[in-house]
Structure 1
Amino acid sequence: MRATPWRRIPSHALLALVLLAPFQAEAFDPQEGGAAIYAKRFNGRPMANGRPFDPAANHAAHRHLPFGTVAEVTNLRTGARTTVVISDRGPFTPGRIIDLSPRSARELGIRDVGRVEIRPIGRAD
């Protein structure tokens, strides 16, 4: 009896695809929530991706989006938009969904904490 193409795929690989597919799709849906700005004490320190934090770059921290994801962030109060690259993990404060570099926060008009929408749009790679 000849095996069908899907039978050639190892069962553990199929199981991983079935279990992880919903999380991948969910991670890329637009999200709304709180945003904060990195504190000055993080300047030059390594981010979770291993590179030093640069406050003049459009970096951001997100709990789940893969490193290198390019996301459009919109200030829901003013409508201002900017593009960031996910380079770090966080925030770990309840109610917040993203930490922004000072440059990104300035472009959005956020001085301390704001409410934003995050929409992943691609990869920086």
Structure 2
Amino acid sequence: MLIKPLLISLSLAILAGCSSSPANYAETITGVTEQGKASFYADKYHGRLTANGEKFDQQAMTAAHKQLPFNSKVKVTNTANNRAVVVRVNDRGPFIRGRIIDLTKHAFEQLAEPNLGVINVTVEVID
């Protein structure tokens, strides 16, 4: 499974954080991929603060991930139709078992119809 390489890369990233060069951290996670399920935020979260202190905006191209550093850019691809978006991580979550990323409604709509609610995706760190 692709989770093991992510855990290895994140472990390396933590170790790289002990070095004097923050660029090492980005290099260790770029290209890391994982597969799982994606969903989108409920409207009630619009305007609330995200984990990094920003106001949540349903129309932005942002996402929540449990472990990736804030401001990481990831390519999220719907495995059913190959549609892809690039989003920036600015929040933590999702906190529902089996889900690996929560997207804004706008980002999710680029990948699939919102009435699906949850889709299978590949997430790749690109920056």
For normalisation by structure 2, the TM-score amounts to 0.75
Amino acid at match of 1:42: Y
Q: Structure 1, residues 80-112: CA drift from partner, whole Å, max 9, x if none?
A: 000000000000111000000001000111421
Q: Is 1:75 aligned to residue 78 of structure 2?
A: yes
Aligned length: 106
- For 1:56 and 1:80, how far apart are their aligned partners in 2? 18
Aligned to 2:54: 51
TM-superposed CA distance for 1:20, in Å, is 3.2
For 2:76, the aligned partner's letter is: V
Which residue is 1:108 aligned to?
A: 111
Q: C-alpha root-mean-square deviation of aligned residues, in Å?
A: 2.4
Stretch moving more, 82-91 or 104-113: 104-113
Poorly superposed stretches of 4+, deviation over 6 Å: none
1:64, 1:27 → 2: CA distance?
Answer: 14
CA distance in 2, matches of 1:103, 1:91: 17
Decide whether the 8 Å contact of 1:27 with 1:65 is kept in 2.
no
**Could you tell me the percent identity over the aligned residues?**
35
Give the AA of the match of 2:126.
I
Q: Give the greater-gyration-radius structure (CA).
A: 1
Equivalent residue for 2:14, pick from 6, 15, 20: 20
Within 1, Cα distance between the matches of 2:68 and 2:12?
19
Q: Any idea what the Cα deviations from partners look like across 1:11-54, whole Å, max 9, x if unmatched? A: xxxxxx979339x7579620000111100000000000101000
| SS of 1:46 mapped into structure 2 | coil
Look up the match of 2:92: 89
**Which whole-Å CA distance do the structure 2 matches of 1:18 and 1:108 have between them?**
31
Picking from 98, 110, 121, the partner of 2:126 is 121
Tell me which of 24, 28, 32 is aligned to 1:29. 32
